[in-house]
Amino acid sequence: MITISENACFGGTQGVYSHASDTCACDMTFGLFLPLEARDGPVPVLWYLSGLTCTHENAMTKASAQTWAAEHGIALVFPDTSPRGEDVADDDAYDLGKGAGFYVDATQEPWKPNFSMWSYIAEELPKLIGENFAVDMDRQAITGHSMGGHGALTLAMNLPGRYRSVSAFAPICNPAGSDWGRKQLQAYLGDDETTWARHDASLMMTERGFDGPVLVDTGTNDQFIDLLKPEALAEAVAKRRQQATLRLQPGYDHSYFFVSTFMEDHVAFHADALYAD
Is the omega angle on the peptide bond into residue 213 within 30 degrees of 0, that is, cis?
A: no
**Which of 72, 145, 150, 254 is flagged as catalytic?**
254
Annotation says 138 is catalytic: no
Write out pLDDT tens, residues 208-220. Answer: 999 999 999 999 9
Write out pLDDT tens, residues 117-127. Answer: 999 999 999 99
Mean pLDDT of all residues in 19-30:
98
Pick the CATH number of 2-275 from 2.130.10.10, 3.40.50.1820, 3.40.980.10, 1.10.760.10: 3.40.50.1820
Per the CB < 8 A criterion, the answer to whether 212 and 242 are in contact is: no
131 Cβ contact list (under 8 Å, min separation 6): none
Write out pLDDT tens, residues 234-274. Answer: 999 999 999 999 999 999 999 999 999 999 999 999 999 99
Mean pLDDT of all residues in 152-165:
98
How confident is the model at residue 250, as a pLDDT?
98
Per the CB < 8 A criterion, the answer to whether 218 and 249 are in contact is: yes
Query: In this prediction, what percent of the chain has a pLDDT beyond 90?
Result: 100
Q: Compute the distance between CA of residue 97 and CA of residue 89 in angstroms, rounded to an integer.
A: 7
Mean pLDDT of all residues in 149-154:
98
How confident is the model at residue 258, as a pLDDT?
98
Annotation says 5 is catalytic: no
Annotation says 222 is catalytic: yes
Mean pLDDT of all residues in 168-176:
98
How confident is the model at residue 277, as a pLDDT?
81
Beta carbons within 10 angstroms of residue 230's beta carbon: 25
The band of 175, judged by pLDDT with boundaries at 50, 70 and 90, is very high
Residue whose C-alpha is closest to residue 8's, from 40, 31, 29, 34: 34
Mean pLDDT of all residues in 169-185:
96
**Which of 21, 50, 116, 146 is flagged as catalytic?**
146
**Which of 178, 202, 222, 270 is flagged as catalytic?**
222
Q: CA torsion sign, 196 to 198 to 204 to 208? A: positive
Alpha carbon separation from 204 to 185, 216, 271 (Å, rounded): 15, 15, 25
How confident is the model at residue 32, as a pLDDT?
98
Q: Compute the distance between CA of residue 139 and CA of residue 127 in angstroms, rounded to an integer.
A: 14
Work out the mean pLDDT of the chain and round it to a whole number: 97
pTM: 0.97
Phi–psi pair at 209, nearest 5 degrees = 70, -170
Q: Where are the domains of the chain?
A: 2-275
